[in-house]
Chain A
């Protein structure tokens, strides 16, 4: 049976609750168990550390989709002293699965764009589970050009299962909208830093990943298509999704080895959601560092370097 949820932390919690009970019980009786309990607690902690160091790629997929995982909105609120969200694509509508606006980051005005997932069913319905329609990509396109006009650096946050596969999305040109964003981002003269903060699903996610620096949280994943889709298409077997997740090389470390990811931001033990302030602070520091480096570069040089970086991706013979 393939695991569909990462429930390790829940099991740890259950054991800890039992220990707590035992602790209370022992204090009401004459024998003292506190030393044994302490050593058990230490064992649990060691076990956790080992466990999280050896997560399988599929377990990372599950963690990256964890319902409590911090979303783009959480990061934006943490990063920005001021934040104004902007809406709409000026063609058809406002896609709430994409959050975009202007913020003050470390004293500097920046444009931030991200895919937005919800935390509960109501929010997920509102944000379409983080899956944009063409309006979302056209909002991105508009705000990218706006950032260029006002020479604001761009920060993007990637956390989406992919572009929405629906009738309206196709009618309104999903492929056209995504391709325009790819082309626009590749030529912007302002600095662009992209962060894969959760799930990076396919071309719909890629639209925000064309950047001078691509950062990735240590439990995030980024894949050409979901492991489920690949397992069912290539192997006609959904039960082999764990093997597929491994074969596809989708983890931050795999992608750094492949030269696609520039820096990995380590998550707190157990994942970003277990200690959001620590995670957000670490990511903020990394963004500050890269932004500082990029801002000091000549803008023409910057876009040429980004271009050369993209141009080199690919391996072949002959």
Chain B
């Protein structure tokens, strides 16, 4: 009792956006940022997700220095980039690297939603491609954890073309007979959903994640109707045959480990 009281003093409790329960900050952290009452999955940042999945200390980052610049002279983009770097503590909207999961070596990419809604510009496209190429060179499986608002508008068509570029590299990866697992997290939409996030051998999703091509607001405006409940949520997509498996955060590492093991020779 006393200990809980103390926790409350340290950090303010957080209201679950799904069930409105007041969750002590510590308890939420301990529960992998999942609401203990309704299992709502709060967003994890990229570093937290990496820590959650990979073996302690095994992560070696690739291309940490790659950064974007204002290639179209788009008004305000430079400032946005700087702000995003400050806010997220990350250089760009994806972190890539090599790690092990229960001893299974793999290349992974994890998108960072606090960096301009993890939109895909030149750097995200390039880092995904380089990660895929690394996995091919090392003949090891690839895991990409997506969350994204889509192609980055401030980089115009160069951003849109990253969809084609990442899809092309994954075509080669596919030819090489290697395993690619995609994990879709909240939210994965637009150009990322319509390119590398969908092109995996096995597609996993976190519960309750919004996943789709068009955003719900645009759809609502276009058709002028209310959208069905839970529309475009991962449960809805599972029902419609678009993903392989829903994985609760607490089961994520175990599921990955099992899938990786099942794809290992002998």
**What residues of chain A have their CB less than 8 Å away from a CB belonging to chain B?**
163-167, 169-176, 178-180, 182-187, 202-203, 206, 209-210, 222-225, 229-230, 233-234, 247-250, 255, 258, 260, 307, 310-311, 313-318
Q: B186-220: which have CB < 8 Å to A?
A: 190-191, 193-199, 211-215, 218-219
CB distance from A127 to the nearest CB of B (A): 16
Alpha-carbon gap, A166 to B158, bound state (A):
26
Alpha-carbon gap, A234 to B77, bound state (A):
11
CB distance from B172 to the nearest CB of A (A): 7
| Residues B164 and A248 in contact, CB atoms below 8 Å apart | no
Alpha-carbon gap, A313 to B165, bound state (A):
7
Known: A170-B214, A174-B214, A310-B168. A315 touches B122 (CB 8 A): yes
Alpha-carbon gap, A167 to B167, bound state (A):
25
| Residues A182 and B163 in contact, CB atoms below 8 Å apart | yes
Of chain A, the residue at the smallest CB distance from B227 is A167
Known: A186-B167, A314-B125, A317-B67. A203 touches B223 (CB 8 A): no
| Residues B156 and A233 in contact, CB atoms below 8 Å apart | no
B12 at the interface (CB under 8 A from A): no
Other than the given A182-B164, A209-B164, A314-B165, 15 more pairs (CB < 8 A) read A164-B222, A165-B219, A167-B219, A170-B213, A174-B212, A179-B167, A179-B195, A179-B196, A224-B155, A249-B72, A255-B157, A258-B158, A313-B125, A313-B161, A318-B63
Known: A170-B214, A183-B167, A314-B125. A230 touches B153 (CB 8 A): yes
Alpha-carbon gap, A222 to B212, bound state (A):
22
Alpha-carbon gap, A203 to B63, bound state (A):
27
| Residues B219 and A166 in contact, CB atoms below 8 Å apart | yes
CB distance from A255 to the nearest CB of B (A): 6
| Residues B213 and A316 in contact, CB atoms below 8 Å apart | no
- A176, A186, A222, A318: the one within 8 Å of B171 (CB): A186
Interface centre among A167, A174, A224, A229 (most CB of B within 10 A): A224
- B159, B174, B214: the one within 8 Å of A165 (CB): B214
Known: A170-B213, A311-B165, A316-B123. A202 touches B198 (CB 8 A): no
Alpha-carbon gap, A316 to B72, bound state (A):
12
B185 at the interface (CB under 8 A from A): no
Q: Which residues of B are found within 8 Å of A167, using beta-carbon distances?
A: 219, 223, 227-228, 231
Q: Which residues of B are found within 8 Å of A182, using beta-carbon distances?
A: 163-164, 167-168, 194-195
| Residues B168 and A187 in contact, CB atoms below 8 Å apart | yes
Of chain B, the residue at the smallest CB distance from A255 is B157
B162 at the interface (CB under 8 A from A): yes
Of chain B, the residue at the smallest CB distance from A168 is B223
| Residues A314 and B126 in contact, CB atoms below 8 Å apart | yes
| Residues B212 and A170 in contact, CB atoms below 8 Å apart | yes
Q: Which residues of B are found within 8 Å of A180, using beta-carbon distances?
A: 198-199
Alpha-carbon gap, A178 to B194, bound state (A):
6
Of chain A, the residue at the smallest CB distance from B80 is A234
CB distance from A256 to the nearest CB of B (A): 11
Q: Determine the main DSSP class of A at the interface with B.
A: helix
Q: Which residues of A are found within 8 Å of B153, using beta-carbon distances?
A: 224-225, 230, 233-234, 248
Q: B70-126: which have CB < 8 Å to A?
A: 71-72, 74-75, 122-123, 125-126
Known: A249-B156, A317-B66. A166 touches B171 (CB 8 A): no
CB distance from A314 to the nearest CB of B (A): 4
Known: A170-B212, A183-B168, A311-B168. A165 touches B162 (CB 8 A): no
How would residues 111 to 144 of chain B score, 1 for a CB under 8 Å from any chain A CB and 0 otherwise?
Answer: 0000000000011011001000000000000000
Q: B217-261: which have CB < 8 Å to A?
A: 218-219, 222-223, 227-228, 231-232, 236, 240-242
- B75, B157, B164, B223: the one within 8 Å of A222 (CB): B157
Of chain A, the residue at the smallest CB distance from B215 is A165
CB distance from A204 to the nearest CB of B (A): 8
Alpha-carbon gap, A300 to B241, bound state (A):
35
B160 at the interface (CB under 8 A from A): yes
Known: A171-B240, A175-B193, A311-B165. A165 touches B218 (CB 8 A): yes
| Residues A173 and B161 in contact, CB atoms below 8 Å apart | no
Interface centre among B167, B194, B223 (most CB of A within 10 A): B194
- B129, B151, B215: the one within 8 Å of A224 (CB): B151
B68 at the interface (CB under 8 A from A): yes
